[in-house]
């Protein structure tokens, strides 16, 4: 579904807004943690950075850490903001993403089975081909700066 400017939601009749997603690029030992999105979700079956929408009364860094924990079982620490991605073409809903570099501190063997099929660590030379949204570009930019 692609939303056009000025279009109203079919459920609530409000105008669509551009929402903020907060993603975590979890990086350890030259590898990044990706999640395979559950079939049925947007971009289902594709790999992505763990993340999701900011909740009421939470900061963007708090949202990124929460989403990483919920989806992957990784507790982490924000190292820095990697960037804000707002290209209207980045996804069909024109969501804006704040992407944070996260250093993992603890990892439990768990995933959010409602949203995620699996999690896996990848190095820059073994990234999967089917990466959701604009996360392939975000990873490319990150690894170029790391070299």
Q: Could you confirm whether 117 is annotated as catalytic? A: no
Catalytic position from the list 118, 141, 144, 146: 118
CB 101 within 8 A of CB 68: no
- Written as one string, the DSSP assignment of the chain is --PPTT-B-TTT-PBP--PEEEEEEEEETTEEEEEEEPBTBTTTTSEE-SEEEPPTT--HHHHHHHHHHHHH-EEEEEEEEEEEE--TTSSTT--EEEEEEEEEEEE-S---TTTEEEEEEEETTS--S-B-TTHHHHHHHHHHHH-
Which residues are catalytically annotated?
A: 118
């Amino acid at each position: 579904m692609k939303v056009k400017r000025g279009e109203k939601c079919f459920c609530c009749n409000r105008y669509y807004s551009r929402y903020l997603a907060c993603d975590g690029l979890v990086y350890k030992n030259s590898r990044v943690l990706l999640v395979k999105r559950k079939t049925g979700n947007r971009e289902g079956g594709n790999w992505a950075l763990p993340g999701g929408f900011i909740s009421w009364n939470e900061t963007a860094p708090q949202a990124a850490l929460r989403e990483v924990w919920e989806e992957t079982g990784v507790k982490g620490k924000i190292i820095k903001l990697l960037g804000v991605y707002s290209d209207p073409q980045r996804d069909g809903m024109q969501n804006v993403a704040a992407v944070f570099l996260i250093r993992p501190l603890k990892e439990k063997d768990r995933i959010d089975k409602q949203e995620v099929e699996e999690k896996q660590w990848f190095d820059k030379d073994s990234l999967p081909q089917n990466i959701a949204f604009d996360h392939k570009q975000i990873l490319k930019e990150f690894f170029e700066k790391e070299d």
